[in-house]
Amino acid sequence: MTEPSPLSYWLATAPAFTGGATGDPGGQVDVAIIGGGFTGLSAALALRQSGASVAVLEAGPVIGEASGRNGGQCNNGTHQDYGSLVASLGRDRALAYYHAHVDAVDTVERLVREQGIDCAFRRCGRLKLAAKPMHYAKIEKAYALLKAEIDQNVELITPDRIGTEIGSDQFYGGLLQTTSAQLHVGQFGIGLAEAAAAQGATIFEHAPVTDLTRAPGGWTVTASRGSLRARQVLVATGGAPPQKPFRWFQRRLVGVGSFIIATERLGPALIDRLFPNRRNYVTSRIIGNFFRLTPDDRLIFGGRARFAISGGKSDVKSGAILTDAMRAMFPDLRHARIDHVWGGMVDLTADRLPRAGEQDGLFYAMGYSGHGVQMSVHMGQQMARYMGGDLSANPWADLDWPAIPGHLGKPWFLPAVGAWYKVQDMFK
């Protein structure tokens, strides 16, 4: 029996990036961007379109981390439901944050269209599935508030209709946000990198940044392959490695493993029975699952299978847990072969809202907390404007960002958090 590939399905089926720089970093640019994921590439494209000279420094290959290792969902809506945001932050800020997530999906679609990126972008809708009857009651309440105040593109899927949406007996209704989308994130990311390079951005792969120092008129950025000077620096690393330049951010982010499997190609009759509308799906449990079909008819199925760091044996163990969960949810898939098992790191903030702004002269955007496919692309565009002086471009500017008590960069508390969430899942 062939073992599943440890490569992300998205990266394994993406084209090669051909626009990378052939030399080493050097000279001077207007903006140095640290990180070649969606945030950095989107910002590089926008900055070049505004006339700035740009260098991107990526520690590995472009989109090699979170941007190429996610579930491929591009969803509207915040992590916290709208009512919770209103209760904790007030209606005006809740409205602004919800609209930012809606705008983010629009930004992805706009870039796909403007840059002619072939990535199977489709407005499929996201269906949040109630895993318990009490969850449906909460979903019903959330739907009423969304419909009344902010989003007409939502639909309540009542328990008697759930069979028309999903071929599983584990769910009790759901909330459909019809404007959410999906795309092949590998094809999109490479297309975005090629577009930025075509506009004149210099993109250095395999060039991890090891030091940042103040210099007259800006910064000296030192990487493994050389150094350059920049008037401005944008940190777009997400959960960066434990190096001196990024420690301020590490104390405010918790890196959590997110694990995913991809099946073999499924037959059309089976797909029509289990996923008739080919949507994005998420479950309502605290430690829940997310899933969708790929353009070539595989099921992508993921979640926080274990509260652990991604890599090696951890991905394999998590893949086994996900396979069991998928087969329990969809018994018709009990014989489906698993072709890919992989993991990635999600950078979480304490309140699960993104952060962006300026800290000690460094610009940054990160902390997307599981909503990075759309928000990272959007914030790359917005930060290009913000760095150019348009302070209204940053929707997260009014959020403070204190360090997480006791957190120095290594998430030693993950097992305890995971155990607590499992207890909550049992009773809520």
* Cβ–Cβ < 8 Å for 302, 258: yes
Distance CA 100, CA 80 (A): 14
The more confident residue out of 388 and 287 is 388
Say how far residue 313 (Cα) sits from the centre of its chain. Answer: 23
> Residue 229 carries which DSSP code?
E
| Tens digit of each residue's pLDDT (9 = 90 or more) over 132-162 | 999 999 999 999 999 999 999 999 999 999 9
SS3 411: coil
* Residue 239 binned pLDDT confidence (cut-offs 50, 70, 90): low
Least confident of 3-7, 136-140, 185-189, 287-291: 287-291
* Cβ–Cβ < 8 Å for 122, 294: no
Distance CA 114, CA 376 (A): 18
Q: What average pLDDT does this structure show over 232-237?
A: 96
pLDDT attached to residue 254: 86
| Tens digit of each residue's pLDDT (9 = 90 or more) over 19-67 | 999 999 999 999 999 999 999 999 999 999 999 999 999 999 999 999 9
CA angle 372/375/379 to nearest 5° reads 125
Distance CA 219, CA 209 (A): 13
CB neighbours of residue 121 within 10 Å: 20
pLDDT attached to residue 425: 53
Going by C-alpha positions, the residue among 69, 74, 67, 70 that lies closest to residue 35 is 67
Does pLDDT of 422 surpass 60?
no
Distance CA 153, CA 137 (A): 20
* Cβ–Cβ < 8 Å for 184, 37: no
Domains of the chain: 9-418 (3.50.50.60)
Q: Which residues pair with 263 in a beta bridge?
A: 338
Least confident of 21-25, 210-214, 334-338, 405-409: 405-409
Question: Could you give the maximum distance between any two Cα atoms of the chain, in Å?
Answer: 67
pLDDT attached to residue 414: 55
| Tens digit of each residue's pLDDT (9 = 90 or more) over 240-282 | 555 667 888 988 998 888 899 999 999 999 999 999 999 999 9
Helix axes 185-198, 91-115, angle to 10 degrees: 70
Distance CA 296, CA 317 (A): 26
Tell how strand 209-215 and strand 154-157 pair up: unpaired
Q: What average pLDDT does this structure show over 231-243?
A: 80
Distance CA 259, CA 372 (A): 15
pLDDT attached to residue 427: 54
* Residue 174 binned pLDDT confidence (cut-offs 50, 70, 90): very high
CB neighbours of residue 289 within 10 Å: 20
Distance CA 158, CA 283 (A): 15
Does pLDDT of 394 surpass 90?
yes
pLDDT attached to residue 81: 81
pLDDT attached to residue 420: 46
Q: Which two tokens stand for residue 252?
A: 């405010």
CB-based burial label for 267 (10 Å; 0-12, 13-18, 19+): exposed
Q: What are the helix (H) ranges across 118-236? A: 133-149, 185-198
Q: What is the value of pTM for the model shown?
A: 0.94
* Residue 421 binned pLDDT confidence (cut-offs 50, 70, 90): very low
The residue type of 120 is: A
Distance CA 314, CA 41 (A): 29
Which residues 6+ apart lie within 8 Å of 425 measured at CB?
A: 285, 286, 287
* Cβ–Cβ < 8 Å for 323, 337: no
Average pLDDT, the chain: 92
| Tens digit of each residue's pLDDT (9 = 90 or more) over 102-117 | 999 999 999 999 999 9
Q: Which two tokens stand for residue 102?
A: 């809606």
Q: What average pLDDT does this structure show over 231-247?
A: 79
Q: What average pLDDT does this structure show over 183-207?
A: 98
